[in-house]
Amino acid sequence: MLPRSSAGRQIGDLKSRLNAIFHLACTTDPWRALPPEHGKPDTVSRYFRRLTHAGLWERLLEAIKENHPNHPLNEVAPLIFRACRRAVRLRGLRFIVLIRRLGFLHALNGPPHKLPNPDLSEKLKAMRLPALPRTRKQITAYLGYLKALRHLHRLAGGIKHISRQQRLGWS
């Protein structure tokens, strides 16, 4: 179910608004660069935020995962993935987790190895450290293990800031 306006009115011409969202999602332009034939940029961006907060993109991703390979929704899946890239900023980490668990890495707003991976952090949390070393050789191996564990922990948290070039170059 698509959200209604804040006054409870039916929103007119839903198809044109979704076309405007998909048009802009396929570019790197800001909302204000929306061509006039798609309507007012403020209106379209507000509608996009409402759809995002209503959980539409999550439901669409789950529907794509569950549907038959010949389903018509698969034809617009790349557009939905592009819109999800913009929605990640509004939905946050839970949305990233859903995208990763469904296996739609193209819906992420950057290279997967640069974004947080909560599943990896949970696996690391469940890992047990080996017994304390007694010999010099065991100490060296233990320190190597801790160094690798620290690297994986950083990887699980993702990079704090992904450059615009990396984000936009990811396809």
pLDDT digits (tens, 9 = 90+) for 10-20: 566 788 889 99
Are residues 86 and 55 both part of a single domain? yes
Are residues 118 and 97 both part of a single domain? no
Residue 114, judged by CB atoms within 10 A of its CB (0-12, 13-18, 19+), counts as: middle
Q: Which domain holds residue 166?
A: 110-171
Q: Given a cut of 60, is residue 36 above it in pLDDT? A: yes
Are residues 52 and 10 both part of a single domain? yes
In the DSSP assignment, the letter for residue 92 is -
Q: Which two tokens stand for residue 21?
A: 């969202």
- To 5 degrees, how large is the angle CA 118–CA 121–CA 122? 90
- To 5 degrees, how large is the angle CA 28–CA 103–CA 2? 65
pLDDT band (50, 70, 90) for residue 127: confident
Q: What is the DSSP string of 19-32?
A: HHHHHHHTSS--GG
Are residues 93 and 115 both part of a single domain? no
Q: How far apart are alpha carbons 24 and 136 in whole angstroms? A: 59
pLDDT digits (tens, 9 = 90+) for 50-109: 999 999 999 999 999 999 989 999 999 999 999 999 898 899 888 988 998 898 988 888
Are residues 28 and 92 both part of a single domain? yes
Alpha-carbon 156 to chain mean position: 15
Alpha-carbon 67 to chain mean position: 20
Residue ending a domain, among 68, 91, 108, is 108
pTM over 0.85: no
Q: How far apart are alpha carbons 171 and 82 in whole angstroms? A: 9
Are residues 102 and 119 both part of a single domain? no
Q: How far apart are alpha carbons 163 and 86 in whole angstroms? A: 15
Residues 6+ away with beta carbon under 8 Å from 1: none
Mean pLDDT score of the chain, rounded to an integer? 83
